[in-house]
Chain A
Amino acid sequence: MTDIRYLAPRSLEEAVSAFAAAQGAARILAGGTDLLVQMRNGVVKPGLIVDIKKIAEMTEIAETPEGGFRIGAAISGATLAEHPRFGKAWPGVLEAINLIGSKQVQGRASPGGNLCNGSPAGDSVPAMIAAGAVVTVQGPNGRRQMPVEAVPAGPGRTHLAPGEIVVSFTLPPRPAGSGDAYLRMIPRTEMDIAVVGCGVSLTLQGGTVTAARVGLGAVAPTVLLVEDAARALIGSRLEEEALEAAAAACRAACRPINDKRGTIAYRIKVAGVLLKRTAAIAAQRAGGN
């Protein structure tokens, strides 16, 4: 039998030094909705657990001077949903985070955990990528920033350096005429893992798309930023050809696998379908701003 040590530091510095000192034998604990499941299955056997939920910065929601948001990586989906303004600015990001699991899971699960768990099917990740979110990371060598799409490295792996902790997500200010959305395909209506997930963020001026970002989940070893799809949308008025071109770009970006959750052919087709549906919702929200 192995003993597990548990730490719940109040400062980031303490957390980073304990985490780094354990040299890979440690695991960060946010909501634990992935970690505890993996420990129970015997997939991971940490010698040290560093609980980050007691660190104020990691569970805060702050509005940045520029008009954006900075959300702590360990905040739960339920807490984020209660914020009076976040969901108005980023309805797509919020709905993606709130799709994770059930009511019980929502009380624990965090966007930081969703990203760092490294699942290509993590629901909040495509929405965060579409939003152009940037993470602040703190490690033994100090702080750095990286775009969300630069974090995943493959199923269950990230580009975080040893000892690094994701502290927060910074979402940029929203120009007028912006909207975002996230849709996932699951066979059930809830309590399921995305077979394909798609996040779209748009800015429209006078009906023309001036900015667009597309994130695509569960179709490749990592969640993808699909720049070709965004390019197909920018400058368009979301005519059928533009949407079809963006859908084609999404299909082209897919490098899926056959598994118990879906086939290659199915995932590729669905990626295109979801792009169109998600873009339509994002555009509607942009128009309503």
Chain B
Amino acid sequence: MNVISDKLQVEGNRWIGTRTVRPDGADKVTGRAAYAADNTMPGMIWGKVLRSPHAHAVIRSVDTSKAEALPGVKAVVTARDIVDFPVDKSVMLGIQDMRWMCRNVMAREKALFHGHPIAAVAAINEEVAAEACRLIEVDYEVLPHVIEIEDAIRPDAPILHDFLKHEGKPSNIAGTMTAKLGDVEAGFAEADVIVERTFRTRPVHQGYIEPQACTVSYAADGRATIWSSSQGQFMVRAMTSLLTGVPQSNIKAIPAEIGGGFGAKTIIYLEPLALLLSKKSGRPVKMVMTREEVMRATGPTSGSFSTVRIGAKKDGTIVAAQGTFYIQAGCLPGGPLRGPVGCAFAPYEIPNVLSVGFDVVSNRSKVAAYRAPGAPLGAYAAECVLDEVAEKLGMDPLELRLKNSAKPGSKAAYGATFGKVTFEETVEAIRTHEHYKAPLERNPRPGVRRGRGVASGFWYNAGGESSAQVNITEDGNVLVTTGHPDVGGSRASIANVTAELLGIEHGRVSVQIGDTSSIGFSNLTGGSRVTFASAMVVTQSTEKVITQLRERAAKIWKIDPEAVTWENGEARPAGPNAGQFPPLTLKELAAKANEMGGPIGAGVQLNTQGADPGFATHVVDVEVDVDLGIVRVLRYTAAQDVGRALHPSYVEGQIQGGVVQGIGWALSEEYLYDRQGRLDNAGFLDYRMPVCSDVPMIEPVMLEIPNPKHPQGVRGVGEAPIVPPLAAIANAVYDALGKRFYSLPMSPPKVLEALEE
């Protein structure tokens, strides 16, 4: 469903808003698309990582001599080869601190989780490399380990890092973050109804299909080429440079097609190791993680332990909200506190807010970003408590949200004062949707109960640095280069925008993703920023190209460029000259390019601004098999302000994908550890992501309310959809069973046990 509020932006569009064939589609469905592991090179050898068998241990020594002596082994690297960033001085790259990254790619003083890299080997094939790993002798002093948040914050918990202090004492609390507005205690004093609950969630995996992989070739002249799959070739270049000491100008990072990332591929694991192995061996080195390595040793998102308290007056006015969010960081600091702390209460205008996050380290792999990092954790707690507040007040839960919704000029606790706010529209869209109004058959069969739940969500969205180059080929077609790996169909959207602006057939535009040496700096594919930011720089570049084209035509016609317009793919004389010359098409102008001034093309590099936040409201119907404790999602409708759907299929795909990931998070996904601190379900069989048959067709309701700060009205859409599902489903399960669940996932044994209480 598509609700467009501003007709002006749509009428007359030929490509924007249409479902064109995606540029990378044919390659992907025919198996031709080259992912990171598809790369091979002459003389290439294989790298493998030796990983810690302990969850927590001091590394007394690492002896690689036997591995190095094994025939076929070409190089071995250890932490000594990685640039050491001392723990007392922060060195930031974006949101990543190199103190922690250098210890994440290779354990330094201590092994901090089962699977932590200890050394890496390159050999003539994978078998020899694996054999060499077995020959490395590591002397460990095994330490007690701690996995769960509640254990890690106990006073007697094993401490991971002596240098981390909280309230003056060594602690596993690595940091805190606070968002504050007004005076919560005064606010609660005014409340007629107060609900306070504590919630627990488990770490979940992003579920990308393609394991991390790379090939790195370090040449004799000190220049390195990296082929890898990531959410940012410039991030790969910068982080590899920092961790290896090779200057950025000597590294070319080539992005492969990416088989999913969802945030996880905004950091690297293998590239610095492969570069150092290549440097030592003089050979290109390829490294590919197994699925088991991906699950054990790359970052999922955090588990959480949160308490939320909300107070409201009898009429439904929320007067105070408080949240305490303990968020897992994994083994090194850096959990996504900003997600729960800033987003949990952001959809609402609440005068008194206190939101505090704690970054908790434990002996697990360091967390990585996952779609709206941390925001689902906060929304889960806040939106479930809101459901209880509505119940206590006898109010419809959507009415309660409408009554308190943020408005233009509302101040959010995280600091922003909102401009245009489109939250109410998402609530209204659900409230008036046929799904919300449809009667629900509560007991369709014996042993089966159904319920309905709603929840909302907020995500910041982001702008940031992007570069584009638009070139007209000699035969009069168009090549657009941007600097962002395409994880969600961004090339398709960019093709639509370029063809629209130039007024030409869509098929004449090719869109490619440049490597770090062929396009200007472009920040990560993350934060729901790529379509927003790259459409902006591509628009400005294309406008410059159009100006050049008008100038060329003016030169040919010997008239003033101001008197030339660009319409339907051709230059036309305008004003007093109108009709004096036959129009010049793109092809004709391209053919004359050199005689009239040289190649035609333009690029723009910007730190883009104006990415307004995203809001979403969801409704879900669930069915519970009360004898087996199985919860199934029957129907799901997700309304979101999408700004402008440049290519509706990929906007719908973002919404549907985010919801499905939320369903898995709510019902079946979790990292399970054994007593030795080893991950017990390191594979997709026992790490239960939903399969197709587990979910209904998710109905996206795209509210196209143009973002006034963007040339096409684009708003980021990739992250908001994963924010509401956890609470929406929990609220629906309550509606079905009359029992509230305060921990995820709501797996069958948990549900059955609760039903028997």
- A: residues with CB less than 8 A from B are 1, 185, 187-193, 195, 260-263, 265-266, 269-270, 273
Contact = CB atoms under 8 A, between A and B. Distances in A.
A243 B14 CA distance: 66
B319 to A, nearest CB: 41
Interface in B401-445: none
A189 B693 contact: yes
Given A185-B628, A266-B629, A266-B752, A260 B691 contact: no
A193 B685 contact: yes
Contact of A1 (B131, B749, B753): B131
Nearest to A261: B686
B628 A191 contact: no
Contacts of B562: none
Most buried by A among B127, B627, B690: B627
Contacts of B688: 187-188, 192
B680 A187 contact: no
B496 interface: no
B694 A266 contact: no
A188 B690 contact: yes
B628 A260 contact: no
A263 B749 contact: yes
B672 A260 contact: yes
Given A190-B691, A195-B748, 13 more contacts: A185-B628, A187-B667, A187-B748, A188-B694, A189-B691, A189-B693, A192-B685, A192-B688, A262-B748, A265-B749, A265-B753, A266-B753, A273-B628
Given A188-B691, A189-B694, A266 B749 contact: yes
Nearest to A191: B691
A280 to B, nearest CB: 12
Contacts of A189: 632, 691, 693-694
Contacts of B691: 188-191
B686 A260 contact: yes
A263 B752 CA distance: 11
Contacts of B681: 260
Interface in B688-733: 688, 690-691, 693-694
A1 B127 CA distance: 7
Given A266-B748, A266-B752, A190 B693 contact: yes
Contacts of A265: 749, 753
A269 B756 CA distance: 11
Contact of B748 (A185, A190, A193, A260): A185
B630 A187 contact: yes
Interface in B473-501: none
Contact of B668 (A1, A187, A193, A270): A187
A263 B751 CA distance: 12
Nearest to A189: B693
9 contacts: A187-B667, A187-B688, A193-B686, A260-B680, A262-B748, A262-B749, A266-B748, A266-B752, A273-B628
Nearest to A262: B749
A188 B668 contact: yes
A270 B672 contact: no
Contacts of B667: 187
Nearest to B684: A191
B649 interface: no
Most buried by B among A190, A192, A261, A266: A266
Contacts, number: 51
Given A187-B688, A192-B688, A260-B686, A273 B627 contact: yes
Interface string B122-158: 0000011001000000000000000000000000000
B747 interface: yes
Nearest to A272: B627
B303 to A, nearest CB: 16
Nearest 8 CB-CB pairings of A with B: A266-B749, A189-B693, A273-B627, A263-B749, A1-B127, A260-B672, A260-B680, A189-B694
B contact residues, range? 20 to 34
A260 B627 CA distance: 20
Nearest to B668: A187
Contacts of B128: 1
Contact of A269 (B630, B685, B752): B752
A187 B503 CA distance: 52
A260 B749 CA distance: 11
A192 B630 CA distance: 14
A160 B485 CA distance: 55
Contacts of A273: 627-628
Most buried by A among B127, B628, B668, B681: B628
B366 to A, nearest CB: 23
Interface in B361-383: none
A52 B627 CA distance: 42
A187 B670 CA distance: 13
Contacts of A188: 668, 688, 690-691, 693-694
Contacts of B752: 266, 269-270
Most buried by B among A187, A192, A195, A262: A187
B288 to A, nearest CB: 14
Contacts of A187: 630, 667-668, 688, 747-748
Contacts of B747: 187
B447 to A, nearest CB: 9
Contacts of A190: 691, 693
A260 B669 CA distance: 12
Nearest to A274: B628
A102 to B, nearest CB: 9
Nearest to A196: B628
Given A187-B668, A190-B691, A260-B680, A270 B628 contact: yes
Most buried by A among B627, B686, B690, B749: B749
A187 to B, nearest CB: 5
Contacts of B627: 273
Contacts of B632: 189
Interface string B101-141: 00000000000000000000000000110010000000000
Nearest to A276: B627
B663 to A, nearest CB: 11
A265 B668 CA distance: 19
A44 B681 CA distance: 20
A260 B630 CA distance: 16
Contacts of B749: 262-263, 265-266
A84 B681 CA distance: 40
Contacts of A261: 686
A1 B130 CA distance: 10
A13 to B, nearest CB: 35
Interface in B608-630: 627-630
Nearest to A42: B130
A189 B685 CA distance: 13
Contacts of A270: 628, 752
Contacts of A193: 685-686
Contacts of B686: 193, 260-261
B45 to A, nearest CB: 16
Nearest to B686: A260
Nearest to B672: A260
A82 B627 CA distance: 34
Nearest to B695: A189
A192 B672 CA distance: 16
A190 B685 CA distance: 10
A9 B691 CA distance: 39
B302 to A, nearest CB: 20
Contacts of B628: 185, 270, 273
A261 B683 CA distance: 13
A189 B691 CA distance: 8
A1 B72 CA distance: 12
Nearest to B632: A189
A195 B749 CA distance: 10
A150 B752 CA distance: 33
Contacts of B668: 187-188
A269 B753 CA distance: 10
B70 to A, nearest CB: 11
Nearest to B747: A187
A261 to B, nearest CB: 7
